[in-house]
Amino acid sequence: VQVLESGGGLVQPGGSLRLSCAASGFTFNSYAMSWVRQAPGKGLEWVSGISGPGGDTYYADSVKGRFIISRDNSKNTVYLQMRSLRADDTAVYYCARETATYYGPEDYWGQGTLVTVSS
């Protein structure tokens, strides 16, 4: 099982960024996927999750209305579209596989991609 994030970088406040997460080594559409972030020197914060088929999505209050999670099961890829970015969105963003199709903890994690929101 492998999970590989990409798309991080430096973006100005108010800007947008799309993160991608390519997965391999398992039946992708059978597993929910999540994004979890970690600000520098801080703890883990769950951001968003999506069910295996893609019909159910969940968001933390801190990103609701600004971030959109989606997945393309034909490409084994999950995305996080981030808009109206703020300084406090600066973090390493981890993509992770959940242990079940709908609900589960995260058992496989990528190494993370750094998003820096700064002018």
Partner 1 sequence: EIVLTQSPGTLSLSPGDGATLSCRASQTINYNYLAWYQQKPGQAPRLLIYGVSSRATGIPDRFSGSGSGTDFTLTISRLEPEDFAVYYCQQYGGSQAFGPGTKVDIK
The contact set with partner 1 (CB under 8 A) reads 34, 36, 43-46, 49, 56, 58-61, 94, 96, 98-99, 102-107, 109-112
- The minimum distance between CB 17 and partner 1, in angstroms, equals 20
Task: Using the minimum distance from each CB to partner 1, give the nearer residue, 89 or 98.
Answer: 98
Beta strands 9-11 and 113-117 are: parallel
* Tokens found for residue 1: 């099982």
- The minimum distance between CB 80 and partner 1, in angstroms, equals 15
Task: Using the minimum distance from each CB to partner 1, give the nearer residue, 56 or 72.
Answer: 56
- Answer yes or no: are the C-beta atoms of 115 and 86 closer than 8 Å: no
- The minimum distance between CB 117 and partner 1, in angstroms, equals 21
Q: Where are the beta strands (DSSP E) in 60-100?
A: 67-72, 77-82, 91-98
- 118 phi and psi angles, rounded to 5 deg: -160, 150
